[in-house]
A = this chain, B = another copy of it.
Amino acid sequence: MKDLSPKQDQILDFLRSFIEEKDYPPSIRDIQEGCAISSTSVVDYNLRKLEDKGYIRRDREISRGIEILGARGRRARIVEIPVLGSIAAGQPIPVPTSDRFGNDTQDMVAVTEDMVRGKTNVFALRVKGTSMIEDLIDDGDIVFLEPARSAVDGDKVAVWLKDREEVTLKRIYHEGDRVRLQPANSTMQPIYTSAENVEIQGKFISSFRPSD
């Protein structure tokens, strides 16, 4: 796992840029041409070296069976999260689409999965307004939520208010047969409504502030 020869370094660089551009690994002969090497066996030789040193992984007998390891290669699992819309701005958010891949032009953000704690089906919303400012959630923040239909008192949840036809982000408290939706902003009043009127959409996981 030490330093590598200039040629190996060159090959590694070529590997990266090739994959970056084409989205699939190069063949031995691609590398040969790309690095101006005279023989395929030289490429093979150095590839073995790189494998020994742990920089790449190769699937033998398989064309283009090269995988970059280490640093960039030991890639953390990356999840792409749809940004479904805005929250607490009065307008309804689109119902979480069937995901799969119909949502072509939809906003997406990608994060390492530890940023959403390995949860699945996480979605995101843009926060409008400062109703949760004391929970350090500001206007313009992006909040990550995991789908949920229920929550315990004090949870920060996105809820659908049937009568208002809007989604809002608040702390939730069950009080008998009604629900208190508590903003984290001392200048704002809680919303009291009936339990039937609220439909929990998701629970707060984490948040991101795009800019200053």
Residues of B within 8 A of A68 (CB): 23
Is the pair A78, B76 in contact by a Cβ cutoff of 8 Å? Answer: no
Stretch at the interface among A40-48, A107-115, A172-180: A107-115
A211 proximal to B (CB < 8 A):
yes
Minimum CB–CB distance for A187 against chain B, Å: 16
Give the chain B neighbours of A208 by CB distance below 8 A: 115, 206-209
Contact: B64 with A24, CB < 8 Å?
A: yes
Which residue from B71, B75, B101, B138 sits with its C-beta under 8 Å from A104?
Answer: B71
CB nearest to A30 among chain B residues? B62
- Minimum CB distance partner of A203 in chain B: B212
Which residue, of A27, A72, A104, has the highest number of chain B Cβ atoms within 10 A? A104
Closest Cβ of chain B to A110, distance in Å, is 5
Query: What's the number of copies of this chain in the assembled complex?
Result: 2
Given A110-B111, A138-B136, are A22 and B59 neighbors across the interface (CB < 8 Å)?
Answer: yes
Q: Is A67 an interface residue (CB 8 A)?
A: yes
Which residue of B78, B136, B212 is within 8 Å of A209 (Cβ)?
A: B136
Our pick among B65, B70, B103, B133 for the contact of A101 (Cβ within 8 Å) is: B70
| Count of A interface residues, CB-CB < 8 Å | 47
Cβ of A207: which chain B residues have Cβ within 8 Å of it? Answer: 208-209
Could you list which residues of chain A lie within 8 angstroms of chain B, going by C-beta atoms? 22-25, 27, 59, 62-68, 70-72, 74-76, 78, 80, 101-104, 108-112, 114-115, 117, 133, 136-138, 156, 204-212
Contact sample, A vs B, 27 pairs, CB 8 Å cutoff: A22-B59, A22-B67, A23-B67, A23-B68, A24-B24, A25-B64, A27-B63, A70-B104, A71-B101, A71-B104, A72-B80, A72-B101, A75-B80, A76-B108, A76-B109, A78-B110, A109-B111, A109-B115, A115-B210, A117-B210, A133-B136, A136-B137, A205-B211, A205-B212, A206-B209, A207-B208, A208-B208
Across the A-B interface, give the 9 residue pairs with the lowest CB-CB distance, nearest first. A71-B101, A23-B67, A63-B63, A136-B136, A110-B112, A207-B209, A208-B208, A64-B64, A24-B25
